[in-house]
Amino acid sequence: MVKKIIVSIAFLCVSAIVFTSCKDEKKKEVKKEVVEEVKKEVKKEAMAAKYQCPMDCEKGKTYDKPGNCPVCKMALKKKEAMADVYQCPMDCEKGKTYDKAGKCPKCNMDLKKKAHDSHEGHKH
C-alpha cells in the first residue's frame, strides 16, 4: 500500500515536470511567431508610401495619406526613400557623388557617406 502511494506521488511529480516544461517551449514558439509578425508589420509600414509637406513646416513629420499640410495648406508630396550616396571628403570633384563606398579617383581618400539634406524638390 505504501509502495503504491510512493509510486503515485512520483508519477504525479514527473507528470507535472513534463507538462510545465512543454508549456515553456510552447511559449517560446508563440513568442517567436509574434516577433516575426511584428517584424513583417514594421517592414510593411516602412515600405508604405509616406507624404510630407514640401516646405517641411513640421520638421520632418510624415503622413500615411495624401492631403494638405495643416500649417501652410500646400499639397503633401510623396516622400521617396533616399539611397545612400558617397562623396570625397575633400570635394575634389566639386559635389560629385557615387552609389557605393570606395576611393576618390583624384586624391585616393575613402569616400564618406553623404548626409541627406531635406531640400528635396526645390533649390535655394
In the chain the first and final C-alpha atoms are separated, in Å, by 96
C-alpha closest to that of 54 among 77, 72, 70 = 77
Dist CA 122 CA 124 (whole Å): 7
The pTM assigned to this predicted structure is 0.32
For position 49, what pLDDT does the model report?
67
Which H or E element spans position 8?
helix 2-47
For position 83, what pLDDT does the model report?
67
In this prediction, the residues of the chain whose per-residue pLDDT falls under 50 are 122
For position 84, what pLDDT does the model report?
76
For position 47, what pLDDT does the model report?
60
Contacts 24+ apart (CB under 8 A), 118-124: 118/56, 118/60, 120/80, 120/82, 121/54, 121/77, 122/54
